[in-house]
């Protein structure tokens, strides 16, 4: 099986891919989730409706730091109480209270990413590649201020093949969807240097008539660290287009494994 994809090599100075369940401390995923990458692609290309696609996300970061931010708490059903809230808001005859304080957000530093975007309609590859090279606005991944620097965009062919002679060792961390992981583990072809964390990552959502967003599709996936081994006999999608940036993972390697979801 062969399919076309847009491969993106990118970097970020600092980024935070917030875990939705984290509140007081805004923790970050180690890699951007699928919905974040898909949203970035749609923004870059100016798509006004959802274009079905799969994405493969790999990358690494140097370290993580914490940064303070101004945090607001507001409940429209809570009236103002002096000493409890420190901001008074008024709407007509009603007084509402808001609390302003400090929160902490986790930031990843020196992020390097390898993204494969596989549209369901493969004729969109040229449109997506052009949009990423010449975006309609500055690109970000994570928060609005987390600027994304695109180092290379190319259209490549992905080939499903069997690992023949030598095992494939991941040159960087990756999201491995549960279905791909299970297929590899059934033949004892997937070995982790250490146990990876399992996540349920958002991919697509729908908006109700009230303007509320609800997640429509989530992907169970494992965070596989750099050094994970895919042994001989395992079958997976591969990208054999050379990586020319010497500072990027998979430079000078013949095969890049791809894990679409």
Q: Which CATH architecture has domain 2-67+103-258?
A: 2-Layer Sandwich (3.30)
Nearest to 141 by CA among 57, 21, 247: 57
The CATH 3.30.70 portion of the chain extends over 2-67+103-258
User: Residue 197 and residue 97: Cα distance in Å, rounded?
Assistant: 40
DSSP label at 39? Answer: H
Contacts for 78 with CB less than 8 Å, ≥ 6 apart? 85, 96, 97
Look at residue 247 and tell me whether its pLDDT is greater than 80: yes
Top-confidence residue, 29 or 230: 29
Residue 186: what pLDDT?
Answer: 67
Region 85-90: mean pLDDT is: 73
163: pLDDT confidence band, cut at 50, 70 and 90? confident
Q: Which pLDDT band holds residue 2 (cuts at 50, 70, 90)?
A: confident
């Amino acid at each position: 099986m062969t399919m076309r994809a847009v491969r993106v090599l990118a970097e970020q100075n600092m980024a935070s891919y917030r875990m939705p369940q984290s509140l007081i401390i805004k923790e970050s995923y180690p890699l951007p989730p699928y919905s974040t990458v898909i949203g970035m692609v749609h923004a870059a290309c100016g798509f006004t409706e959802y274009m079905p696609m799969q994405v493969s996300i790999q990358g690494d970061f140097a370290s993580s730091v914490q940064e303070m931010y101004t945090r607001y708490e507001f409940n429209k059903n809570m009236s103002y109480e002096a000493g409890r809230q420190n901001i008074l808001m008024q709407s007509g005859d009603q007084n509402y209270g808001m609390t302003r304080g400090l929160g902490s957000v986790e930031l990843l530093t020196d992020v390097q990413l390898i993204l494969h975007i596989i549209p369901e309609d493969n004729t969109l590859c040229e449109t997506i590649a052009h949009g990423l090279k010449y975006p309609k606005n500055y690109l970000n991944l994570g928060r609005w201020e987390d600027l994304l620097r695109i180092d290379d965009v190319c259209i490549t062919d992905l080939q499903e093949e069997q690992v023949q002679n030598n095992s494939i060792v991941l040159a960087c961390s990756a999201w491995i969807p549960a279905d791909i992981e299970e297929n590899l583990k059934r033949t004892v072809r997937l070995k982790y240097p250490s146990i990876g964390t399992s996540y349920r990552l958002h991919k697509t959502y729908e908006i109700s008539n009230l303007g509320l967003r609800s997640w429509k599709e989530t992907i169970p996936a494992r965070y596989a660290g750099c050094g994970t081994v895919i042994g001989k006999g395992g079958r997976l999608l591969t990208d054999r287009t050379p990586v020319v940036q010497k500072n990027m993972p998979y430079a000078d390697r013949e095969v890049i494994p791809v894990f679409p979801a």
